[in-house]
Amino acid sequence: MDDQVIFAARAAVLTDLEARGLASPVSVSILDDACSERRWWLEQWAEGAQFVPGLIAQDVQEALADGLGRTDPAGLWPVCRHCTEGPVHTLHIDPDLGGPDPVWVCEETGTTIAPLGRLTAND
């Protein structure tokens, strides 16, 4: 199996964590666990490589929410900064299966905010 898919996915998710100031030891450990699990998944279904980056992002997002809670700002990664009114909400990966070409989308408006790996501090 070619680990380049996993390495590229890890880099994209880490970039987005860093953009939001959430690349802590806890979140990076969660990211590494997600990469290990998806490496196994990819070994079973090599044709699914295009889905791996988005799936890893979803895995990290869910693990942060489950582990830190939805009241902790890190548990709401990544928070939508596009919407200025209404309750605090997150972005999610679209398409739901993680690929191909995953993007972060506002869960309230459906607006595409950024491709995976391209979030900024202001998105």
2: confidence class by pLDDT, cuts 50, 70, 90: confident
For the chain, what is the mean pLDDT? 91
Peptide bond into 102 cis (omega under 30): no
Please count the other Cβ atoms lying within 10 Å of the Cβ belonging to residue 103. 16
Please determine, for residue 37, whether its predicted confidence score (pLDDT) is greater than 90: yes
Q: How far is CA 49 from CA 1, 15, 61, in A?
A: 10, 20, 19
Q: How far apart are CA 120 and CA 111, in angstroms?
A: 16
Report the sign of the C-alpha dihedral through residues 121, 56, 7, 73, in that order: positive
Instruction: Check residue 88 and give its pLDDT.
Output: 86
Q: Tell me what the mean pLDDT of segment 53-61 comes to.
A: 96
Report pLDDT digits (tens) over 89-114: 899 999 988 789 999 999 999 999 99
* More confident position, 10 or 86: 10
